[in-house]
Structure 1
């Protein structure tokens, strides 16, 4: 890891057999855990974490398989199931002395956060989700030519072998594509940070593919089971996202309300990487959530 969040201390914290998470911790007060997305690391939260640390203990890990955290080989679908990755985060908080915490996730980290909220409701006091749709609903709303915006999901859903080789052959171009097309303000991801995202992703191709592959299989099975059982997110939930509903022809707020009865749904004019493009609005959404 070449870059760090200023003022934060770094730890390697064991959360499972053979898996330790690189974790930045700063501030004092009620704990808030921030989970990054694809193709990023914990550094995406650098602005937001610094603001929240004024009155919260802020915990910012690299997810299993990403950044400077351990990257276990995919021995089966459970290795990178969101259930497994959510258990990592609950264990991480416990190791830091917190049996209850607020949780926020962006993109892939948001899917981990949702799974934590569904399966560890006693641990998650508040839940914030940034620019993602639940796994089950994501596959239901993608169809026809509109699904081309999510071509990477279909590529990484393929069995092990081909997607890893294809992506590794041009890793910087592949991951850089998303940093470019999903960003409205390129200056929000300065050169050194972009280089760190590319380096970290280039070194984690198998585990990143395994993470996304899980969302076409085991994660989907877990969401289906929750829908059938009526398992909901019972804590206060805030969702902030671009207007993907209008773009893809569905009611995004209604999709989320079916999972989260206590919902504050907001749209943003920022791009996908809103914690970097518009950190002030993200901090406000989090503070509003924590006040509920």
Structure 2
């Protein structure tokens, strides 16, 4: 799925990160969402590698990256810890400054990466999210029903872990097939990789911890930022058939958190890079 790319495991101070890298040109870090892996990018990474040195990584807790033990405050799965992994990965690969694009959970990590390492992230693109703190703050009945997993996954361990672990394939297929496009965005090869990784009980637990951190320590970190905003250019893309479009004003919310924001809805659902790969690739090429 990634012709010409190398697969590497990079040790960070907190875990080990599995990634693929390929191409030449300015470095571009791609981060996936829940409950997927870096394979999310397989439809656009080869095209982007013609103009960029692409790094597609598994977040800690996901895919074939390490799954460190958690703590009572969920700090090992905070976006700060996940972002630190990626900063160290890019250093290990020799990239002092770089572009970042993240989808879903990976976009939340990307947001924190651009805040905590502002001198290194030159531009940031986020796919189908609004800022975490503001989404919780502005929760409505419609949002809670559509993103029920946000509130299920943050319940104390091991309740959601046991529920999901009883039939992880059915859970994954129901969760990811619930959007307007169903399961059609996913190729057989990608789907097999997602399910292989998600069947690991450690992945299920780590992904729950990701959400628990988002509802707790991540918001504390956001609050500690005060009025500080992202100072790099930010591109926001979301699906016009998805929950962000229906429940939030994405550009308005991002302007609460960033100084230089532009973006638009695209004619698809949540999984934009797999549903609309050519359109997403073109938007990223134009922006970066």
The corresponding residue for 1:195 is: 192
Contact 1:239 1:263 in 2 (8 A): yes
Q: Point out the more displaced range, 90-99 or 72-81.
A: 72-81
Contact 2:153 2:208 in 1 (8 A): yes
Change in 2 beyond 3 A, CA 1:186/1:170: closer
Contact 1:130 1:241 in 2 (8 A): yes
Deviation string 1:135-158 (CA, Å, 9 cap, x unpaired) is 101112222254111111111111
Deviation string 1:45-83 (CA, Å, 9 cap, x unpaired) is 012111111021100111100101111121341110000
The SS at the match of 1:192 is helix
The corresponding residue for 1:56 is: 52
Q: Point out the more displaced range, 142-151 or 23-32.
A: 142-151
- Cα distance, 1:95 vs structure 2: 0.2
Contact 2:128 2:244 in 1 (8 A): no
Please give the alpha-carbon distance, in whole angstroms, between the structure 2 residues aligned to 1:47 and 1:195.
15
Gaps of 5+ in 2: none
* Count of aligned positions: 283
2:83 is the alignment partner of 1:90 = no
2:131 is the alignment partner of 1:137 = no
The corresponding residue for 1:23 is: 19
Deviation string 1:113-155 (CA, Å, 9 cap, x unpaired) is 0001111100100000000111101112222254111111111
- Cα distance, 1:183 vs structure 2: 5.3
Change in 2 beyond 3 A, CA 1:85/1:149: same
Which has the larger share of helix? Answer: 1
Contact 1:185 1:271 in 2 (8 A): no
Q: Which structure 2 residues correspond to residues 65-214 of structure 1 after superposition, within 5 A?
A: 65-76=61-72, 77-182=74-179, 184=181, 186-203=183-200, 204-214=203-213
Gaps of 5+ in 1: none
- Cα distance, 1:245 vs structure 2: 5.1
Change in 2 beyond 3 A, CA 1:283/1:246: closer
Please give the alpha-carbon distance, in whole angstroms, between the structure 2 residues aligned to 1:202 and 1:138.
29
Contact 1:9 1:25 in 2 (8 A): yes
Contact 1:183 1:273 in 2 (8 A): no
The corresponding residue for 2:270 is: 272
TM-score (norm 1): 0.93
* Greater than 4 Å deviation, 4+ residue runs: none
TM-score (norm 2): 0.94
Change in 2 beyond 3 A, CA 1:237/1:145: closer
Please give the alpha-carbon distance, in whole angstroms, between the structure 2 residues aligned to 1:193 and 1:54.
22
